[in-house]
């Protein structure tokens, strides 16, 4: 084990690093501003199997009619809007952490899919989208014949 001298200033962000981060968030990745204001980021998981592409997104408390899903040119868009819950009259809130507002996410699917046979379900607060792969995108095994 090696010992190193503790430097309290090592952990502090330099002015240059702060300016770089501000520049990157505002011009290079402008969607970062959207996630702080009108739209909140929506985390997703995406994986593919031999026959389908599966996308999962947590949407606890949402109703199916509050979610809008669109697939265009291989880009999947998920939009959800959750209205503010009404306050209980005469109640004093100590915490209000339920998020309300608009949620939005776009991801590019890794392969061509058959959108006509897609399925969307809610399971334990998770939106699960299943896209069967297009016939030409599925892997095919080729047998080798001997002479």
pLDDT of residue 35: 44
pLDDT of residue 31: 52
Q: Are 53 and 131 in contact (CB under 8 A)?
A: yes
Q: Is residue 64 part of a domain?
A: yes
For residues 6 and 39, which has the higher predicted lDDT (pLDDT)?
A: 6
pLDDT of residue 41: 73
Structure tokens at 104: 């939005």
Q: Is residue 11 part of a domain?
A: no
Q: Is residue 129 part of a domain?
A: yes
Q: How far is CA 19 from CA 29, 30, 94, 146, in A?
A: 14, 15, 36, 66
For residues 107 and 145, which has the higher predicted lDDT (pLDDT)?
A: 107
Q: Which of 63-72, 86-95, 112-121, 136-145 is the least confident region?
A: 136-145
Q: Is residue 92 part of a domain?
A: no
The stretches of 78-139 forming alpha helices (DSSP H) are none
Grade residue 126 by pLDDT with cuts at 50, 70 and 90: very high
Domain total in the chain: 1
Q: What is the mean pLDDT of residues 120-127?
A: 92
For residue range 11-35, list pLDDT tens digits in order: 566 677 777 777 776 665 555 444 4
The CATH code of the domain that includes 65 is: 2.60.40.790
Supply the pTM of this predicted model. Answer: 0.63
Q: Is residue 16 part of a domain?
A: no
Structure tokens at 111: 């392969």
Q: Any bridge partners for residue 122, and if so which? A: 127
Q: Is residue 50 part of a domain?
A: yes
For residue range 26-63, list pLDDT tens digits in order: 665 555 444 444 455 788 999 999 999 999 999 888 88
Q: Is residue 63 part of a domain?
A: yes
For residue range 84-100, list pLDDT tens digits in order: 666 788 888 888 777 67
Q: Give the residue numbers spanning the domain of 126.
A: 40-85+99-137
pLDDT of residue 48: 93
Q: Is residue 146 part of a domain?
A: no
Structure tokens at 28: 């290079």
Reference 62, options 101, 95, 97; nearest CA is 101
Beta strands in the chain (DSSP E): 39-41, 45-48, 52-58, 67-72, 75-82, 101-108, 119-123, 126-132
Measured distance CA(65)–CA(103) in Å, rounded: 14
């Amino acid at each position: 084990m090696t010992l190193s001298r503790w430097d309290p200033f090592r952990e502090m962000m330099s002015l240059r690093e702060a300016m770089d981060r501000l520049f990157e968030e505002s011009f290079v990745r402008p969607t970062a501003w959207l996630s702080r204001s009108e739209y909140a980021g929506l985390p997703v998981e995406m994986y593919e199997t031999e026959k389908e592409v599966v996308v999962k997104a947590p949407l606890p408390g949402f109703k199916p009619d509050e979610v809008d899903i669109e697939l265009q040119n291989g880009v999947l868009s998920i939009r959800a809007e959750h209205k503010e819950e009404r306050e209980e009259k005469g109640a004093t809130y100590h915490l209000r952490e339920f998020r309300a507002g608009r949620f939005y996410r776009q991801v590019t699917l890794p392969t061509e899919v058959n959108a006509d046979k897609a399925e969307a379900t809610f399971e334990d607060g998770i939106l699960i989208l299943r896209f069967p792969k297009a016939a030409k995108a599925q892997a095919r095994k080729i047998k080798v014949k001997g002479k």
